[in-house]
Amino acid sequence: MRLHEYQAKNVFADAGIPTPEATLASSVDEVVEAAEDIGYPVAVKAQVHVGGRGKAGGIKLAENKAEAEEYAEDILGMDLKGYHVERVLVEEAVNFKNELYVGVTMDRGEGKPVAMVSSKGGVDIESVAEETPEAIAREHVDPAFGMHPYQARKAVYEAGVPREVALDVASILQTLYQLWDDRDASEIEVNPLMITEDDEVIAADAVMNIDDDALFRQSDLAEMEEETYEDELEKKAGEYGFDYVRLDGNVGIIGNGAGLVMTTLDLVDYYGGTPANFLDIGGGAKAERVANALDMVFSDENVDSVVFNIFGGITRGDEVAKGINDALGQFDEIPKPVVVRLAGTRAEEGREILNDELVQVEETLEDAVQGAVKNAEGGQ
């Protein structure tokens, strides 16, 4: 789960990290009112879950009322990389002489959290990491013990943070680590962390992503979740609780287990088709869930054909077959041809149940995928 900038900044501010004065606004009038309260210049910042908002026109600096109005009109309602902007953060523009980067994430290779500091802030940190990795100081943390203050200082000095603010930045890094640990973050960062003319340090942006698997013990953060989706189908997938990714092909793919579903996508491509989606029904799916999966894929208008690939371990073939029959039985005419391949637990029982007037049944993965690719060609 990803927090919006304004939400993350509230969390940071509560933890004692300085943030600029700011107000959330959802109309032009509210933007102007907030800007007048804060005093010009102000930054008007789109609150959507995409990176590179500034470059995409989602962040603008207003020097006066006319500009605040103009930018509010520009940004509110705009389409930013597929997301509709409904709210902006109106924020005091900070005069800075320097921009830093600080963050904490999980180093999966090491199995440990790693704190990072760079004196090259304010830019895309991924390209800094790629082009000048030495510009980022990294400090691994013992997850059972937590971060020693000396480690935060070490990273800050290594990164070449100016002496006047080094201890303040170290203290902010320590606070970020504490938040990361307490709030089950998967990623937490401030970029840029601004150093003002008066040597104050202020978090001008805030990123905080929470581990979805840990939301059960972060209920206050879970309540902040404001799902935004790129399209209606992904929204539907969220409601059904599927792992679903929409792609741009025309062969709809449903399967169980991430590895097998990815493999099915790859085979569709291998046999000359193009996958329309990734949809994992997960383990142990019952008939209703299977029917929901078919509903999802049928409602994608790009889909010309569907392949169902189930290799049951926990998932039972007869249960899947029942779901497919139920879902297809509701139609007078099947909207798109469906190929089904059932293997593993109770697969034989499943194949017996399957109504082969409604679906094409194949024994092997290869035959099923090739069948679906052929059907898709016919549908175009």
Q: Closest separation between CB of residue 136 and other proteins, Å?
A: 14
Q: What DSSP letter does each residue of 18-87 carry, written as one string?
A: ----EEEESSHHHHHHHHHHH-SSEEEEE-SS-S-TTTTT-EEEE-SHHHHHHHHHHHTT-EETTEE---
- Using an 8 Å Cβ cutoff, are 114 and 107 in contact? yes
Nearer CB in complex with other proteins: 93/260: 260
Nearer CB in complex with other proteins: 36/352: 352
Nearer CB in complex with other proteins: 173/261: 261
Beta strands 88-92; 42-46: pairing state: antiparallel
Q: Closest separation between CB of residue 89 and other proteins, Å?
A: 24
Cα dist from 338 to 284, 315, 324, 353, whole Å: 21, 20, 10, 15
Beta strands 251-255; 305-312: pairing state: parallel
CB atoms within 10 A of CB 96: 19
Nearer CB in complex with other proteins: 108/163: 108
Q: Is 225 a catalytic residue?
A: no
- Using an 8 Å Cβ cutoff, are 41 and 61 in contact? yes
Helix axes 65-75, 28-38, angle to 10 degrees: 140
Q: What DSSP letter does each residue of 147-169 carry, written as one string?
A: --HHHHHHHHHHTT--HHHHHHH
Q: Is 101 a catalytic residue?
A: yes
Reading the block at residue 342, the tokens are 């059932």
Catalytic residue among 5, 139, 189, 362: 189
CA gap 49, 52 in Å, rounded: 10
CA gap 53, 285 in Å, rounded: 39
Nearer CB in complex with other proteins: 130/333: 130
Reading the block at residue 156, the tokens are 């800050």
Q: Closest separation between CB of residue 129 and other proteins, Å?
A: 8
Nearer CB in complex with other proteins: 126/332: 126
Beta strands 360-362; 338-344: pairing state: parallel
Residues binding other proteins (CB under 8 A)? 106, 108-109, 111-113, 126, 130, 142-144, 181, 184, 186, 211, 213-214, 216-217, 243, 245, 247, 255-263, 265-270, 275, 278, 280, 283, 311-314, 343-345, 365-366
- Give the N- to C-terminal CA distance of the chain in Å, as an integer: 38
Catalytic residue among 6, 71, 101, 177: 101
Q: Is 254 exposed, middle or buried (0-12, 13-18, 19+ CB in 10 A)?
A: buried
- Taking alpha carbons only, the member of 287, 331, 334, 280 closest to residue 309 is 280
Nearer CB in complex with other proteins: 110/198: 110
Q: What residues act catalytically?
A: 101, 189
